[in-house]
């Protein structure tokens, strides 16, 4: 599983973007997001719409979010799975468990992959904390 | 219907995804530009209003297009803001999550429109400017007030977070204004913004009323203008010391001229039209391209997805004019089936205006022998 395959502005079409690409190189912190945020609930931002385009999952910014990012983001399968789970508020633990169950991977790997995913999501205001 | 033939045709095509859509909300317009491709005579407006898709139909088509996988969607006209239900249509479609572009002449940007666009800013706005004065707007668009309305409209649209593109079409009546339009853009809105000019003014299409042939530049004037502006752009990018004698030609590789190519790209019409892009016309017809109404499926009578899947079977192309097949300039010629049809009324016809354009470019760049 490769959550960090999540990336910005893949060429789905001969796309145009105000920004050339999205910076996904968020520095990993020593403490994992999971440890810091065990009790918080997360939810997908309403400022992004998830679309299926030619077999790929794509997030399109809408509303005034385009002032910060006017492009699109392609999600790989597992990131798309998490995005669907984030349609309802969920804790980190719940989301990690969902990954373990869906993909049959070890808990530790799921937790590490999710940390990376969540940091990128937060850095670009794609999730909201409730 | 000859199902065997349809299967055979479809079998030879790669997967087709309707990713880039155009919704032509209306062909009506408050401006009456002399070279307009799409506006019908005003005497037809009542009938057009009666046949235009309703707001609910547009929103439903948006939903169907989203389900079919459309990613980029252009809302255009005519002038889309002329529709009284523009805001309703726009909002309903916006919420579906397209990467949305809006084309407008910016003369009808009311408070109501701005309230909608502030909440739901398009990702991109293409604004067409026809002149740098009321006098030029009167000559080109038949509406001198249009100039001030456009300036005020652009002032408002520039407050949105959308990417803004400026576009123009140059004919004899605004030939002297092209640099002034660019100056206006730089002085008032954005010093770095470029102005995109329609390369070749084609005759009106699909029942539109303009007499483009009577007002467009001669091929010589048109090429000279494009060349002058092109060279200036190159020099802005690479420096004023650039020697224009080094300019070469970029040879295209379309289906029409791909003989001898190792890997010709399968297409329906020599481009993306009908393969990954499409237009829904004001009256509910699925077209490959807004310029070409010859091949169509009615999306009022059948679902969008079905119309899209069956569209290739509507395409029947004649042989090209023999002069075109043997032309030394066919690899740089900018014409396509749509422009052939617009210019000659024949999909395979020889568009003399475009031929002259091509010959002048060949001569200008010294490529006559290629």
Neighbours of A19 (CB within 10 A): 13
What percentage of residues in chain B have a pLDDT greater than 90?
77
- Confidence at residue B2, expressed as pLDDT on a 0 to 100 scale: 43
Residue A48: strand pairing partners: A61
- Confidence at residue A21, expressed as pLDDT on a 0 to 100 scale: 37
- Confidence at residue B367, expressed as pLDDT on a 0 to 100 scale: 57
B345: left (phi over 0), alpha (psi -120 to 50) or beta: left
- Tell me if A72 sits within 8 A of A89, measured CB to CB: no
Q: How far apart are CA B330 and CA B324, in angstroms?
A: 7
DSSP of B284-331, one letter per residue? SEEEEETTEEEEEEETTTS-HHHHHHHGGGG---PPPPHHHHT-TTTT
CA distance B103 to chain A (A): 16
Asked if B97 lies within 8 A of A12 by C-beta distance, the reply is no
**Tens-place pLDDT, residues A16-64:** 222 333 433 333 444 455 555 567 899 999 999 999 998 889 999 999 8
Asked if A53 lies within 8 A of B19 by C-beta distance, the reply is yes
- Confidence at residue B235, expressed as pLDDT on a 0 to 100 scale: 83
Joined together, the tokens standing for residue B4 give 């065997």
- CB contact A70 to B (< 8 Å): yes
- Tell me if B289 sits within 8 A of B279, measured CB to CB: yes
* Alpha-carbon torsion, ordered B217, B219, B221, B226, to 10 deg: 100
What percentage of residues in chain A have a pLDDT greater than 70?
71
**Nearest residue on chain B to A59, judged by CA atoms?**
B97
**Nearest residue on chain A to B276, judged by CA atoms?**
A13
CA distance B120 to chain A (A): 5
Q: Which residues in B have their CB inside 8 Å of a CB on A?
A: 17, 19-20, 66, 69, 71-72, 94-99, 119-121, 123-124, 161-163, 276
| pLDDT for residue B46 is more than 70 | yes
CA distance B364 to chain A (A): 31
- Considering only CB atoms, A13 lies closest to which of B19, B120, B121, namely B19
**Tens-place pLDDT, residues B320-335:** 999 998 888 888 888 9
**Tens-place pLDDT, residues A97-130:** 999 999 999 999 999 999 999 998 888 889 999 8
Mean pLDDT (chain B) is: 90
Q: How far apart are CA B204 and CA B207, in angstroms?
A: 7
Asked if B17 lies within 8 A of A53 by C-beta distance, the reply is yes
Answer whether the bond into residue B78 is a cis peptide, omega within 30°. yes
CA distance A74 to chain B (A): 12
Mean pLDDT calculated for residue range B236-262: 63
B236's enclosing H/E stretch is: helix B219-238
Asked if A54 lies within 8 A of B69 by C-beta distance, the reply is yes
| pLDDT for residue A2 is more than 70 | no
DSSP of A76-130, one letter per residue? -HHHHHHHHHTTS-EEHHHHHHHHHHHH---HHHHHHHHHHHHHHHHHTT-EEE-
What's this model's pTM, rounded to 2 decimal places?
0.86
- Tell me if B343 sits within 8 A of B351, measured CB to CB: yes
Mean pLDDT calculated for residue range B125-131: 98
Q: Which residues in chain B are closer than 8 Å to A49, comparing Cβ atoms? A: 95-97
Confidence of residue A9 (pLDDT cuts 50, 70, 90): very low
């Amino acid at each position: 599983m490769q959550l960090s395959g999540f990336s910005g502005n893949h060429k789905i079409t001969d796309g145009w973007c105000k920004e050339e690409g999205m910076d996904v190189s968020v520095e990993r912190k020593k403490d994992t997001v999971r440890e810091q945020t065990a009790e918080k609930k997360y939810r997908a931002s309403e400022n992004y719409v998830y679309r299926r385009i030619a077999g790929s999952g794509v997030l399109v910014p809408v509303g005034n979010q385009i002032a910060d990012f006017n492009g699109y983001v392609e999600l790989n399968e597992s990131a798309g799975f998490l995005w669907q789970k984030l349609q309802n508020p969920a804790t980190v633990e719940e989301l990690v468990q969902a990954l373990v169950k869906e993909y049959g991977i070890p808990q530790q790997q799921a937790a590490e992959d999710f940390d990376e995913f969540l940091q990128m999501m937060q850095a670009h205001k794609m999730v909201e904390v409730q | 219907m000859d199902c065997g033939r349809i299967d055979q045709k479809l079998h030879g095509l790669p997967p087709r995804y309707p990713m880039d859509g155009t919704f032509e909300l209306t062909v009506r317009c408050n401006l009456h530009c002399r070279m307009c491709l799409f506006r019908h005579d005003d005497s037809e407006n009542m009938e057009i209003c009666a046949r235009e898709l309703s707001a609910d139909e547009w929103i439903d088509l948006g939903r169907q297009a989203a389900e079919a996988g459309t990613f980029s969607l252009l809302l255009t006209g005519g002038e889309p803001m002329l529709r009284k239900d523009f805001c309703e249509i726009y909002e309903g479609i916006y919420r579906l999550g397209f990467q949305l572009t809006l084309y407008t002449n910016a003369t009808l940007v009311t408070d109501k429109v701005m309230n909608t666009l502030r909440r739901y800013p398009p990702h991109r706005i293409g604004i067409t400017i026809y002149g740098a004065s009321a006098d030029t707007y009167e000559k080109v668009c038949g509406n001198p007030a249009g100039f001030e309305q456009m300036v005020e409209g652009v002032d408002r649209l520039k407050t949105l977070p959308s990417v803004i593109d400026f576009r123009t079409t140059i004919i004899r009546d605004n030939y002297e204004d092209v640099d002034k339009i660019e100056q206006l853009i730089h002085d008032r809105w954005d010093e770095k913004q470029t102005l995109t000019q329609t390369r070749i003014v084609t005759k009106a299409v699909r029942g539109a009323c303009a007499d483009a042939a009577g007002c467009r530049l001669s091929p010589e004037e048109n090429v000279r203008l494009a060349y002058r502006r092109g060279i200036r752009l190159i020099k802005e990018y690479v420096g004023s010391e650039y020697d224009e004698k080094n300019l070469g030609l970029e040879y295209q590789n379309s289906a029409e001229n791909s003989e001898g190519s190792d890997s010709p790209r399968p297409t329906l019409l020599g481009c993306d039209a009908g393969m990954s892009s499409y237009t829904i016309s004001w009256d509910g017809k699925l077209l490959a391209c807004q310029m070409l109404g010859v091949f169509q499926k009615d999306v009022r009578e059948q679902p969008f997805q079905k119309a899209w899947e069956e569209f290739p079977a509507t395409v029947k192309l004649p042989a090209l004019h023999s002069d075109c097949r043997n032309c030394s300039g066919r690899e740089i010629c900018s014409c396509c089936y749509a422009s052939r049809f617009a210019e000659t009324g024949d999909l395979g016809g020889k568009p003399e205006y475009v031929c002259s354009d091509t010959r002048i470019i060949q001569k200008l760049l010294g490529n006559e022998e290629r």
